[in-house]
Amino acid sequence: MIFSRSAMEFQDFILIVPCCLGFISLCKTFIRFLKWVWVSFFRPAKNLNEYGSWALVTGSTDGIGKALAFELASKGINLVLVGRNPSKLEATSNEIRERFARKVDVKDIVIDLAKFSGEEISNMVEEGIKGLDVGILINNAGMGPPYPMFIHEIESEVLESFMRVNMDAATWVTRAVLPGMLQKKKGAIVNIGSGSSMAVPAFPLCTLYASTKAYLAMFSRCIGLEYEEHGIDVQCQVPLFVATKMIRGFNTASLFTPSPEMYSKASIRCIGYEHICTPYWLHSVQWLLIQRLPDALLNWYLFNLFLKMRKRRMEKYKVSSVNH
């Protein structure tokens, strides 16, 4: 009788334990969902003007950079635009002034980030922002491949440009603006990364792009910890595909591929919060779905997708290559 009662109690215990664990797991999932809803739709954006009256944006004449420049200007923040093309910089500056009825000041710095050394870039930026209260830095300048390529097909000059634009430039521009932020003990640095370096196990045939963007994520994490106590918020934003000219074939806006303007509105709302984030809510949904798929399947799909894109581009432009 006693043995039977003990056995029944043990069976009850065996049933209760997994039920409790399952309930705890369900609660954690529900809490994470509520947090995601709060962050994506209801969390108020920070007052960016509190960081400073000026923002510096690299890669500001096209795509995400240009859209972010307009979004910052709509908040009354003056702009320092960095780009390599003087005529495009002037056109963008004039467009911003006209749209916002000259309520914001705009200054241009012409730098070809692919050609100048890191120290030269830093010196030119320091000279360009002298006397300005730069509170926000957007490291957006980036270089993508003309089409999916094997790494041995990339010319050495282009390969060097990848490194300079995607990694060196962000590092040296950050170094140039940090002293001013440290002096006033506040600032925000945003590095535009890519889901190609984090959301998928590999990004074949766009290897350099994904690898250099992975550098930005770790760079952001590290300096975020280093300068947090000095009031400087550092963030790496990790979008998936955005409808820009960066990667041909994904330059048309759709449900999961927002326009630069749509992305920039989400981007602005996230500045000053997490070290790593995915601002556009449907990108985070897409990321969640991607993570549920086996790595082998994702690798197979992406490799074959980019092989087909590469073939189409090569046929169109009659590009010769070594057979693989």
Q: Which residues are catalytic?
A: 209
Q: What span, in angstroms and rounded, lies between the C-alpha atoms of 282 and 81? A: 29
Give the integer Cα–Cα distance in Å for 28 and 40.
18
Distance CA 142, CA 223 (A): 20
| CA neighbor of 80 nearest in space, from 113, 130, 129 | 129
Packing angle of the helix pair 63-74, 260-270 (nearest 10 deg): 60
| Number of Cβ within a 10 Å radius of residue 186 | 15
Amino acid at 272: G
**Cβ proximity of 80 and 124 under 8 Å:** no
